[in-house]
Amino acid sequence: MIVLAGFMGAGKTTVGRLLAAELGLPFADLDLLVEGGCSRSVKAIFAEDGETAFRDIELQTLAEALAGPDRVLALGGGAVEHPGSRRLLAPARVVYLHVDYAEALARVGGDAGRPMLARSGLEGIYRRRLAGYAEVATLTVRTGGRAAKQVCDDVLTGLAGLPSGDPASYPH
């Protein structure tokens, strides 16, 4: 299991798909697992139930995903907000894809499917989350100005350099 964390626009889904293909593992996106479980979009869950309810569903879905089959799992950008999620992630192999705030915004633009983009004080939320990402990260890879393929290669190199060695043989 390789978990990808990072702010919106860090490239978790794009890099995660490449990484999964390289390692011959399935890929899963936590947002899509949440949406599948609720039969509603993330946007609709935020609009109808609010962020706190979304975080609870996200936590439950994360617990199920971590207990599930070996794969590359991309988190939502705010998954580290919940202390319960951080606890679940503590023993996991988590790659934090770091992106600067300005670059993150440039990448995601005005995506209407990402309700957090409409929040005031988003830069403060970004800064607050940095500690959460750092707390759960086994490995940090900077994505600034780099193509997804380069980031994927950096992740593979970084993972191979960990004491656990070969990424493909990392324990579940």
Q: Which position's Cβ is nearest ligand S3P? A: 76
- Residue 161: name the closest of 93, 112, 92, 60 by CA: 93
* Interface with ligand S3P (CB under 6 A), residue from 18, 31, 57, 132: 31
Q: 94-117 burial, b if ≥16 CB within 10 A, otherwise e?
A: bbbbbbbeebbbebbeeeeebbbb
Per CB under 6 A, 16 contacts ligand S3P: no
* Residues within window 48-87 making contact with ligand S3P, judged by CB under 6 A: 76-78
Instruction: Give the residue carrying structure tokens 């089959």.
Output: 69
Report the alpha-carbon distance of residue 167 to residue 161 in Å, rounded: 9
* Interface with ligand S3P (CB under 6 A), residue from 11, 115, 132, 167: 115
Region binding ligand S3P by CB under 6 A among candidate stretches 113-121, 134-142, 153-161, 164-172 = 113-121
Smallest distance from the beta carbon of 169 to ligand S3P, in angstroms? 28
Give yes or no for a contact between 93 and 156, defined as CB atoms under 8 angstroms apart.
no
Size of the site for ligand S3P (CB under 6 A): 10
